[in-house]
Amino acid sequence: KNEVEQSPQNLTAQEGEFITINCSYSVGISALHWLQQHPGGGIVSLFMLSSGKKKHGRLIATINIQEKHSSLHITASHPRDSAVYICAVSLSNYKLTFGKGTLLTVNP
């Protein structure tokens, strides 16, 4: 079974700070996903990665396949970025294994 570990569990930042959330997994995967979950429970897909790096606005996601590690970065953080960020990995059959999530709070 693939284990997915995220760190930190909780993160508090001041508006404008650069934020990094880390994700490690234990076995080979076909893709890694970063998801955002808002307090109401709704889940939004941010990125899907199989290699390299992707950027969308102030969000950047990277993955190192050899080290089985991914990072999600948020530049110029804003209070509206406050949410739970979840890392999930998938094998070739699309079944996902999820991390426990990182609760991010950005204070004004």
Closest distance to other proteins from the beta carbon of 94 (Å): 3
| Residues at the site binding other proteins, with contacts judged by CB under 8 A | 4, 30-31, 33, 35, 37, 40-45, 48, 50, 86, 88, 90, 92-96, 98-101
> Strands 10-14 and 102-107, how do they pair?
parallel
- State the Cα–Cα distance between residues 84 and 42, nearest whole angstrom: 10
Q: Which of residues 17 and 96 has its CB atom nearest to other proteins in the complex? A: 96
Closest distance to other proteins from the beta carbon of 75 (Å): 24
Q: Which of residues 16 and 53 has its CB atom nearest to other proteins in the complex? A: 53
Spatial neighbors of 62 by CB under 8 A, at least 6 apart, are 49, 52, 53, 70, 71, 73
